[in-house]
Structures are given as structure tokens and as C-alpha cells.
A and B are shown apart, each in its own frame.
Chain A
Amino acid sequence: MSPRPGYVLEVDRSTPPTLFWHGEGYRLERLPQGSRVVYAPEPIEPLADPVAAVRHALDHPLGDSQPLRSLLRPGMRLTIAFDDVSLPLPPMRRPDNRQLVIEQVLDLAAEAGVDDVVLIAALALHRRMTEAELRHALGDRIYDAFAPHGLLRQHDAEDPSELVHLGTTDQGEDVELSRRAAESDLLVYVNINLVAMDGGHKSVATGLASYRSLRHHHNAHTMRHSRSFMDQHRSELHSSNWRMGRLIAASGVRVFQIETTLNNDAFPEQFRFLQRREWEWSARDRAAFVASSAALARTPARLARSVLHGIAGPHRMTSVQAGEVEAVHAVTTGHVHAQQLVEVDGQSDVLTMGLPYISPYNVNSIMNPILVACLGLGYFFNLYRGRPLVREGGVLIMSHPTRKAFHPGHHPSYIDFYEEILAETTDPAEIHKWEEAFATDPWYVHLYRTGHAYHGVHPFYMWYWCAHALDHLGAVVVVGGEPSTVRRLGFRPASTLADALEIAADVVGPSPSVTHLHAPPLMIADVR
């Protein structure tokens, strides 16, 4: 039986309560009658033989690229860059797509007699991955072959000797890249295209770049003009990356792009109810919901976090394509859309969503308040094509505990950003004046380079990610969050969904239309 497409349910008297994620837990909420609930398409069939599919993609590249084996020769410098720990969510069961692809790239390189091979985790300004995370992404065989010899590296955007300035685009954007990647005879980039924002020229132009480059598109102006950044044709974020990518190619950097997609089979069997439609829950699903939600509610947040971050998603590869960047990404985007697009007819006054325990920037870490804002207003709000799910001036209601809790090792500059910057303003454009001080702070630089800290400027980027939503919305309400923390973010706290809807009614008028985004699993609302 083929998987069912996405679905928009209209809530009526017979509709069971709707599942809302709530950080390290979840709740059942009753939405007003007439509300719409947008469900993601069911997981599409994965590739039956991903190894063969990878081999086929490498031998039959897209665009004007030659097959990978013909690009490999003895004595050449080969660099293989790959997406970091921020993808996919949740982390996938072994073997990870990156392992499946890179093992075959390395086999071809060995067959061709290439012995100068370096692997680079394309971190951009993200935190360095731990050994366990690298082993999970690449597999033990690759890790043990490369890491002990210093050939498995993590991009260091603060090492001047490891960066090279390739020039500026016609818009005056600096392009500064990993020297090893730029000066290799061939740069193979291996990605996991979880959402439509990922991949394309963004892989290299962002993943292997420095602050000097990133500041041109990671800013409030760009994000306000990316509507949405999940739609590359209407995204200034992508326009800038595409300009940079073309400059990289024109500079003589030869990129062989390998992109993979996943189905949205995000949760294992015992949590399968999380991606099922509530009226189709079996007795076993209901029992699993009751047992797990009660257990998580009684578990300290730290332990609950540990349990949930231990979940490995059963999602599997649905496509792999290789070759020239733009040709590859056009096909990849089609595969993402095939899995994630849901047609939705028109906008509503209120958009509700439950935010889960994980975002791209807190894998094995704490979802701090800034990441809560980014996940809701950055990622989930932007999961649309055409128009946002909520009308201009409408209200976004998010459910999340929103605790004032930070991982001091991963997010040190976030703490200062929260305490000092958000105490003064929550305007994404206004915070820019503090950006450079954070970006060049020597302590943050030290922690980024030697520890597992996100770069000092990263919280600014998270807040810029919210810029489009903050411009668009009349108010943001957080259900069940710490009131003082929610207010620090510039949002309004509510104890219950009913209270939140009352607050929303004050903004948009009585009896508002409501749409609930039932994510994860991830989807893209194609709003007509």
C-alpha cells in the first residue's frame, strides 16, 4: 500500500484530542471545533538497496559532471566534507547516510590510487562533534582509519592559516573558505537533505566558510527577505549562497556534490504514535502514550533529555544524487517535496505548534530559550511554501516548557546573549550592533576552537532566524513556559492552550481560525 499524502483535518465534535509536543514530553490538547490540523505525509518507501543507489549516483552524475571515478587519479588532493551533527533529526540509526556514501567514495579513491584524502566535518560556526558523534555519522571503520592520523578534521572557521579568501561576489559578499577544501583537486561534499533549506551551494558556501563570509547572509535583513528560507526560489539566504557558490566554482574549486534525502519515519516503534494521526491510534499506541508521557512527566528534565536524545530515528534514505551542485540540488529538492509537501488552503488567524526536545543546535544538549524561539519562529514557522500558515498580524502559539537553562559547554555565548542582549531588546535588527563584539570575543573563540562550543556569534544567528516571523506576527504566546523566561524573549506566557487562545483573540479578534502544525514529522505546508 502506498503511503498516504499529507492531510488537513478539520476538528469537529468527534475529533480526539491532538498531540502537542512540549519539550521533553507531550500533551493531548483539545482544539476548538473548526480548527485545522495539518499532518505530514506518511513515510515514503526508502531505497531498497541504498548501497547500489549510491554507486549508481556516483557513476551517473547529474549536470555537466563526470562520474566520480573519472575525477580521481593518483597524486591528487581529495577532500571529503560532510554535514555535521545538526543533521538529521533525530539522529538516524546506523548506518548513517554519510557513512553509506563516504565508504563508497573512499573505495573509489582507493581503487584510483588516491592517497591524499582528508575528511572535514563542515561545521561552519557550529560546535565541534564528539568522537561518539563522528563515529555515529561515519562509522567506526572510517573513523579508525582517518582520525588517528589527523585526517579526520573539523572545520575551524577561526584558524587564519586554514582559511583562504576567494574573492567577493557582485554584491560585495566575501567568500572565505576552508583552505584545504578550496585548494584540493576535488572537493566531495556529502549531505543529508532533511529539509528544503539544506544542500545546494549552501553546503560548501556555508558549511566550510568563516564569519567573514557568513555575516553577509546570516543577518536580519536576509532573513526578513527569505519567505521562506525553506523555498530557495524566494529565499535571500539561498540567493546569497548561490552567488557565493558560483564564485567558488569560478575560482576553480571543483565540487562534486552528493545529496541524500530521508523519509520522515522519525520515531522507533515504541514512539510510533508520535507520527500517527490520533484517531488511528491503536490500543497499543494509546498505552504507549499514557505510559511514556506519565514517565517523562515524573522524570527530572535532565534524565528525560538523556532518554529522548538517545532515540535514533528509523528514517532511511529515499534518494541519492551526485554531480554538479545545482543540477543535483534541483532533483534533491523534488525528493524532499515528495515526502514533505502538504497542500493547505489559505491562512488562519492563529497557528499552534508543539515544540519537541530537539532542534539542529541542541543535539545531545539543552534546548535553551533562544533555541526554543528559533525552532518555533525560525524553523517551524518557515515550514511553508507560498504563504505562511498564519496570516500577517496573526498569532503563533507554541507549547514548550521554555526553561532558563543552558548548556555551559555548548552554548556559552547564548547565556550572555540572553542575560545582556535580550534584556535590552528583542529586535533582530537592533541586536546587530553587538554582533561583532560577540563574534570576535576571544573567550568564545577559544571555546569554539578547543571545546565543543558554538561560535560566539551563533545566538545572534538564531535570533535573526526569527526575523521574518517576528515581522509577520501580531504576537507570540508560549503555553506552559517559565513566565519570566518567556517574557525575556518578548513573548507572552499562558498556562493553558485555552488561555493562549484567549490571548490570541485579544490580538486577532474573537473566534479566530486556528491551524495546528502537527510536527514532527517534518513537512512543508504548500499554502494556496
Chain B
Amino acid sequence: MKALVFERAVARFAAARVAATLRGSGHGAAAGPLRMVDADQPDLPGPAWGRVRPLLAGICGSDLATVDGASSRYFEEMVSFPFVPGHEVVGTLEQPPDGSPLAAGSRVVIEPVIGCVPRGVEPPCPACAAGDTGACQHLAVGHLSPGLQIGYCADTGGGWSAAGLVAHASQLHAVPDGLSDEDAVMVEPTACAVHGALAAEVADGACVAVLGAGTLGLATVAALRRLSDPGQLLVGARYPHQRSLALELGADRAVEPDQLDRSVRRATRSLRLAGQVTAGADVVVDCVGSSASLAASLAMVRPRGRVVLVGMPGRLHVDLAPLWHRQVTLAGTYAYGLEAGGRRTFDLAFDVVAAAGLGRLVSARYPLERYAEALAHAGAAGRRGAVKIVFEPGQRPPRQVPPDERAPRTVASGAPRPAGGRSGAGGTRRSGTRKGRTP
């Protein structure tokens, strides 16, 4: 069965980086360590594990960073090679774990973080004991190879595989019948957004600015609107379809990213001083994770306000003088777990996906064989009028497709489409607005 495998190959890492630099995000696939192989099903690590055949598997910003050789080296010891990428997965449970209430054939979403429980670490770390798996620090111990998530671990497989993957019982969530596959594949990124939205600690009536409106930014807007009660929810979005979607999902105002500080200033009736909005937003959620976006976030948050990093940053160069002088709290948020109030982040994410209809963000589906095109599309999603690109691992490409008809399968008819979407639309890249990433 076909699967995409990412191998440790230093020279190909460098080639991927060069290709992505020259041709744009996603183009590292053509030159880098990612390749298609015939793969067997991974072995079950234990009786509490089940087999899942992916139906849809998303391409995340962190996947693109990996494929392009642009990931932070911080993660080097938290992955094991070769691994099958793909952690945003909805699939069919082919073999339930022993004792699982889930029936074979049921649809499931994977909660990919591999914490103490899947690793068989006894006793679990305090975070895992409390159910806060995103804070687990035992990501490289236990009976499994290192890997912070399914999709980065050599033993589990990943979503970009027709052969399937294995997941621990604690990582399986049943998909309600009313939820489409497109909705379901959005649950994992939405869980990241939910976790970020709750980490923002938005007080009722607060002014909240969200910078970035890729998948993560838009899901964050949906989560903020449904899980808190901001007085003003302002979004900086680079592309027209992103601005339309942000408004549909609950933003009060959606503007181009370089106009967001102006909107914040107006909403808070601030003055300006030293390039900063003097009052500013109570909370800024940075769903980009670049030096420019973090600097912009610090420039528009109020003194003693909160900047929440939802998009995965790498090595950044930012003047932190305003953070120090204005006594701003900078909060990182990774993944998900247990939220205040005792609900699991994934449970909240299911609710947000259903309420907001986030399946609409899935713009195109590709068979695995066309992975290079899929990753290039994902890397240019914004300027091509798309949001979320997914693989359909069970789907085989048609034979002898004429070149001019080689369009990806789009979302099933009747499903909402992103407004203003124009596949293939051109554009230029600007710093500070690249797609947000979550591992």
C-alpha cells in the first residue's frame, strides 16, 4: 500500500530547503527526504492499540515546514525516522483496541499527541495524569520510538498512508454521524485553536485581535467567538477569501494584516507612541509565528495585555523592549489536553467544528500519488484561494489524465466553499503572513 515516508537524509534536507526558498513553500517535497513507498501496516505496539485506515489527512503548516526543511531543530529529539507524516486524520477504525467501546468500521478522529499513557510510562507525568497531554515531557521514552505526535513517530505510521496507522485507545475519538469527513478532519487543528482561544483568557467585552487567517487563524476565530464573548474580534487576513471567511466565522472586522494595528487603534480609541498603539487590544492571538507577526502583536497589545502564540514559531528576531516596558504576557500554546472546567479540548473542538461548519475550510483533496502538487497547493493555499488541503489516501488517481484536466478533487458538491476561492490565483509573499503551523 502506498505511503509517504520522511527519512533522515541531511543532503536532501538541504535540497528541500533550497527548493522551498526558490520555488515557495511546499516545493521541498520534490527535492527533499519525502518519498512515496510501498508500506506495510505498522505493528500494533500493544493490546490497547487499534488500526485506523485514513479517509482524509490534512496538510498542516508544521508538515510544510518539515517537508521544506524549515522546522526548528528544537524538535530533532522528538521525532524518529523514518516516519509517515499526517497528524490531522479522520479514518475508519479497522481493528479496535482490546476492550474499546468503538466498533470496527466506525469513523474516528485521532488525537495524535503521544503522551505517557500510549507510551506505557508508569507512573505518568503529572500533566498526563491530569489529562493535559499537550504538556507531557515524556515524548522520547517508554516502549515507543521518540515522537511528539502520530505523524512524527517511526512506530505508529501517520495519516499520509493508505496502509493505515496505529493509535492508542486514549487517542481515538468517535465521529458523530452528523459530521462529514471534511468536518472531522478539521477537528485536530480546531483543537489547537480551541486550546489557544482558551489560553487567551478573554474577558467578556474584551478587544481581541487575531493575526493570520489560514486554517489555524480561522479556526481560532471560530473558537473565540463560540467559547468566549469578546466585545471586538478583529482579524488581520492577507487574502480576500480569508477575510470573508473570518467574517462568516464571527469576526467583527477583517482587514489586511498591515491594517490590523489601525483597526485595533480605532477600536480602542488609542493614541500612538513609539510605533505602538498606546492602549491596544486586551489579547492578540498570533496565528502566524514569524518575527514580523510577533513584533506586530507586541505593537498592538495593551500594556499588561496578553499575546498568545498559536502559530508555531521558529527562531525569531524580535525587539522585546515593548514586552518588558508594557509588561505584556507572552503565552505559548501547543496542542490540547484538558481545559479549565474539566472538558477535553477535543470534545470542545468537535462542538466548535459542528457549530461553525468548519468543514467548509477544506478546499481540495488529493490522492497520495499527487503529493508534490498537493503540498505545493498547500504551500500557496492563501494566494490560490484555498484554506485546507487534504490527502485522500484511499483514493487512486485516474489513469491517463490529460494535463489540462489535472485538477484536484474538490469538496463534495453541496459543501460550503471558501468565498473568493480561485485555484491558481497568483500573488507575492510578504513577511509576517505565512501560514500558521501546529505540530
Contacts and interface: CB of A to CB of B under 8 A. Distances in A.
A509 to B, nearest CB: 33
A214 B255 CA distance: 31
A311 interface: no
B256 interface: yes
B318 interface: no
B266 A441 contact: yes
Interface string B216-227: 000000000000
Contacts of B263: 416, 419-420
A437 interface: yes
A419 B262 contact: yes
Contacts of B355: none
A437 B271 contact: no
B271 A420 contact: no
A56 interface: no
B272 A443 contact: yes
B265 interface: yes
Q: How large is the interface on A (under 10, 10 to 19, 20 to 34, 35 or more residues)?
A: 10 to 19
A416 B271 contact: no
A419 B234 CA distance: 13
Nearest to A484: B240
A233 interface: no
Contacts of B256: 419
Given A415-B262, A416-B262, A441 B269 contact: yes
Given A416-B262, A419-B259, A442 B253 contact: no
B270 interface: yes
A420 B236 CA distance: 12
Interface in A393-445: 415-416, 419-420, 423, 437, 441-443
Contacts of B266: 416, 420, 437, 441
A446 interface: yes
A419 B255 contact: yes
A442 B271 contact: yes
Nearest to A418: B259
A266 B106 CA distance: 81
Contact of B271 (A415, A419, A423, A446): A446
Contacts of A441: 266, 269
Nearest to B278: A443
Nearest to B266: A416
A419 B263 CA distance: 9
Contacts of A416: 262-263, 266
Interface in B223-255: 253, 255
A437 B268 CA distance: 11
A446 B253 CA distance: 25
A443 B268 CA distance: 11
A416 B262 CA distance: 7
A443 B255 contact: no
B393 to A, nearest CB: 40
B262 A442 contact: no
Given A415-B262, A419-B262, A443 B253 contact: no
Nearest to A434: B266
A419 B265 CA distance: 13
A443 B259 contact: no
A441 B265 CA distance: 10
A150 to B, nearest CB: 26
A446 B271 CA distance: 8
A425 to B, nearest CB: 13
B255 A420 contact: yes
Contacts of A423: 255
A322 B83 CA distance: 90
A259 to B, nearest CB: 40
A359 B269 CA distance: 30
Interface string A81-104: 000000000000000000000000
Given A415-B262, A437-B266, A441-B266, A420 B253 contact: yes
Nearest to B263: A420
Contacts of A437: 266
A446 B256 CA distance: 25
Contacts of B253: 420
A24 B270 CA distance: 36
A441 B270 CA distance: 8
B268 to A, nearest CB: 10
Contacts of A443: 265, 269-272
21 contacts: A415-B262, A416-B262, A416-B263, A416-B266, A419-B255, A419-B256, A419-B259, A419-B262, A420-B253, A420-B259, A420-B263, A420-B266, A437-B266, A441-B266, A442-B269, A442-B270, A443-B265, A443-B269, A443-B271, A443-B272, A446-B271
Interface of B: 253, 255-256, 259, 262-263, 265-266, 269-272
Question: Lowest 10 CB-CB distances: which A-B pairs, in order?
Answer: A419-B259, A443-B271, A416-B262, A416-B266, A442-B269, A419-B255, A441-B269, A446-B271, A442-B271, A443-B272
Given A441-B269, A446-B271, 19 more contacts: A415-B262, A416-B263, A416-B266, A419-B255, A419-B256, A419-B259, A419-B263, A420-B253, A420-B255, A420-B259, A420-B262, A420-B266, A423-B255, A437-B266, A442-B271, A443-B269, A443-B270, A443-B271, A443-B272
